[in-house]
Structure 1
Amino acid sequence: MTALLPTELAWYATGRFYGTTDGELADYGYFLHLPFDGVPLFDGTPSEKTAHFTFAARPFKAAQIDNGVLTLGLDPVGEFSLYLQRRPAATFDKPASFMEGERIATFRRTSLAVGTTVAVTVGATPAPVFATNVFSARLVASVPFDFAGVRHDLAHHIGRGITQFGTAAATPVTPPPPGYEVVLPFTGSAIALG
């Protein structure tokens, strides 16, 4: 298994941002691609419920700046982890389910992450359309694991970390699960830092 070169595609991910009534945010989801040759990412038709590889962020609070029809979310430095679910069981109705299984890696964002929500003015009211973000994260922990008959280690494949580019919908998923005020779906693609 070869290591990725710097700026090669490391993963595609999809998930949801969850916001609580007290202003905490976190994101949870699963991977559509990882740099593991020949490894099944799903146990059946691709979805969160069949995903072998999931992720979960440590909750955080973000600041906000408005600039016309742009709203900038300023996410502090924080961590997220990747999990191997040998028996997939994640569901967007229970965000904590994405943390089940074996923790195989933890990443820490290297700096503030800025997310930008774009709105259009309809009448006199700005209506959010979509949001984007980009951040870099260093790999701070990686645990070798055996899966599909091969030994894997994200530290070997990805190196020091990733830079991820994300796009989120501005239309919330309804209804949100108990304890959450807003849920927004997103997708992200990451390149290896090497």
Structure 2
Amino acid sequence: MSALLSAELAWYATGRFYEANDGTLADYGYFLHLPFLDAQMFDGEPGETTAHFTFAAKPFKAQAAANGVLSLGLDPVGEFSLYLQRKPAGTFDDPTSFAKGECIATFRRTSLVVGTTAVLFGTNVFSARLIASAPFDFGGLRHDVAHYLGAGITQFGTSAATQIEPTPVGYKRVLPFTGSAIALGRAD
């Protein structure tokens, strides 16, 4: 498949935001769609334990602000990576399991991310530049995230405001989310 055009759909992802007991935040999860149209996304029924393509963020500290009933999270510039798990091993009970496998790309958010949380759900939007990409063979074809996405992505996300119970050991809060991203296009 050819490279995506600027603002063309790049991916659908789902995961969870994890707040550790020390106050750091990170998000982990898997992809429902990537632009590798000939690549099998799952090894069986779609879900966390069968996903071949996963992601994991480097933990970060966020700041908070409020505006009436809106809680605003101010996430600093940070990095997240995409992984190919030839033998899927991701589970939300162990969020670091999404960082196993081959790192196929790393992105850096380009600026502060402002997320809002109200009574029922939260939203966020961020752009991230592709800072590393490694070609890989999968499903009989060669792929490279840089070829498909160019300079990076802009993602729009929605999360639940109600946390997942029980939380895994070491975490005080976990929120499920979904996100869709568009390609930034080439940086010429």
Per the TM superposition, whether the score is higher than 0.5 is yes
Q: How does 1:5-84 map to 2 (within 5 A)?
A: 5-84=5-84
C-alpha separation in 2, matches of 1:177 and 1:31: 22
* Structure 2 portions without partners, runs of 5+: none
The answer to whether structure 1 residue 179 and structure 2 residue 152 are counterparts is no
Please state how far the C-alpha of 1:59 moved relative to its aligned partner: 0.1
C-alpha separation in 1, matches of 2:153 and 2:3: 13
C-alpha separation in 1, matches of 2:111 and 2:40: 33
The equivalent of 2:179 in structure 1 is 188
The answer to whether structure 1 residue 159 and structure 2 residue 150 are counterparts is yes
| Percent of aligned pairs with the same amino acid | 74
Tell me the secondary structure at the aligned position of residue 171 of structure 2: coil
Query: Could you list the runs of 4 or more consecutive aligned residues of structure 1 that deviate by over 6 angstroms after TM superposition?
Result: none
Aligned-partner residue type, residue 184 of structure 1? L
The answer to whether structure 1 residue 149 and structure 2 residue 130 are counterparts is no
Tell me the secondary structure at the aligned position of residue 120 of structure 2: strand
C-alpha separation in 2, matches of 1:17 and 1:63: 15
C-alpha separation in 2, matches of 1:60 and 1:151: 33
Aligned-partner residue type, residue 17 of structure 1? F
Please state how far the C-alpha of 1:104 moved relative to its aligned partner: 0.1
The answer to whether structure 1 residue 93 and structure 2 residue 93 are counterparts is yes
C-alpha separation in 2, matches of 1:78 and 1:107: 8
Please state how far the C-alpha of 1:148 moved relative to its aligned partner: 0.1
Please state how far the C-alpha of 1:97 moved relative to its aligned partner: 0.3
C-alpha separation in 1, matches of 2:37 and 2:174: 33
Please state how far the C-alpha of 1:168 moved relative to its aligned partner: 0.2
Tell me the secondary structure at the aligned position of residue 181 of structure 1: strand
Q: What's the TM-score, normalizing by structure 1?
A: 0.95
C-alpha separation in 2, matches of 1:93 and 1:150: 32
C-alpha separation in 1, matches of 2:135 and 2:5: 20
C-alpha separation in 2, matches of 1:117 and 1:185: 13
Please state how far the C-alpha of 1:108 moved relative to its aligned partner: 0.1
RMSD of aligned C-alpha atoms? 0.5
Aligned-partner residue type, residue 122 of structure 2? A
Q: Deviations over 1:2-30 (max 9, x none)?
A: 00000000000000000012210000000
C-alpha separation in 2, matches of 1:20 and 1:4: 36
C-alpha separation in 1, matches of 2:172 and 2:104: 30
Aligned length, in residue pairs: 185
Q: What's the TM-score, normalizing by structure 2?
A: 0.98
